[in-house]
């Protein structure tokens, strides 16, 4: 998700650009690329480029109950300031801001990369226990079948073994009647 901002850096503060984005990006480690769509607004400030993006994507995840893979929709909102590493007019390397990794920078060829902030937003917006649907029945704890697909024949009520004597007495009384 690279955007060339070299021309925008040569314009006065307050200049802006709008981009419609539709790209494939790797947003989760080990997952397939997701299609990211949306709008990106770039504003020239006196020292940087402000990126304001409203993006949508769907990432493939595993359901926390039935373990089925499904597409989790994610809305991404990015509000970030990107500082140039080179002066856009002279090409002289600028001194980086004194920071502990809290600032975003443009590349030396004035490319703005939204992949990192988008990945951060996806990781923050992912539910801790994604569900394929709110009424997911999950897996049977005895036989392991997906209860969304198959009606399990296992006895779902776990019986406390301390009741065995009373249950056998009740079963004995039923057999006599």
pLDDT, position 42: 92
Name, in order, each residue with C-beta under 8 angstroms of 94's C-beta and a sequence gap of 6 or more.
83, 84, 85, 86, 87
Give residue-wise pLDDT tens across range 10-35: 888 888 889 998 888 887 777 778 88
Residue 61, CA distances (Å) to 34, 55, 92, 148 in order: 11, 19, 45, 17
Instruction: Give CA–CA dist 9/4, Å, rounded.
Output: 10
Query: How many alpha carbons lie under 13 Å from residue 120 in its C-beta half-sphere?
Result: 11
Residue 26 backbone dihedrals phi, psi, to 5 degrees: -85, 105
pLDDT, position 99: 65
User: DSSP 3-state assignment of 173?
Assistant: helix
pLDDT, position 135: 92
Specify which residues 110 forms β-bridges with: none
Report if pTM > 0.85: no
pLDDT, position 156: 59
pLDDT, position 141: 82
The torsion defined by the Cα of 157, 160, 161 and 166, in degrees rounded to 10, comes to -90
Q: Please state the rounded mean pLDDT for residues 117-122.
A: 88
Give residue-wise pLDDT tens across range 36-93: 899 999 999 888 889 999 999 988 889 999 999 998 899 999 999 998 887 766 666 7
How do strand 69-83 and strand 104-105 relate by DSSP bridges? Answer: parallel
Q: Please state the rounded mean pLDDT for residues 91-106.
A: 71
pLDDT, position 151: 84
Instruction: Give CA–CA dist 8/79, Å, rounded.
Output: 18
Tell how far CA 38 is from the center of its chain: 15
Give residue-wise pLDDT tens across range 130-173: 999 999 988 888 888 888 888 887 765 667 778 888 878 877 77
Q: What is the DSSP letter of 161?
A: G
């Amino acid at each position: 998700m690279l955007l060339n901002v070299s021309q925008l850096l040569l314009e006065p503060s307050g200049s802006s650009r709008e981009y419609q984005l539709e790209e494939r990006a790797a947003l989760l480690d080990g997952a397939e690329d997701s299609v990211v769509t949306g709008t990106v607004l770039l504003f020239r400030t006196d020292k940087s480029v402000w990126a304001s993006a409203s993006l949508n994507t769907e990432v493939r995840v595993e359901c926390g109950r039935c373990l089925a893979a499904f597409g989790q929709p994610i809305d991404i909102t990015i509000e970030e300031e990107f500082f140039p590493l080179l002066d856009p007019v002279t090409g002289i390397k600028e001194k980086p801001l004194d920071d502990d990794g809290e600032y975003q920078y443009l590349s030396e060829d004035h490319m703005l990369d939204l992949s990192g902030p988008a990945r951060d937003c996806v990781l923050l917006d992912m539910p801790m226990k994604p569900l394929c649907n709110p009424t997911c029945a999950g897996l049977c704890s005895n036989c392991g079948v997906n209860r969304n697909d198959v009606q399990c024949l296992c006895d779902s009520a776990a019986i406390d073994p301390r009741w065995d004597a009373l249950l056998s007495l009740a079963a004995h009384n039923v057999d006599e009647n």
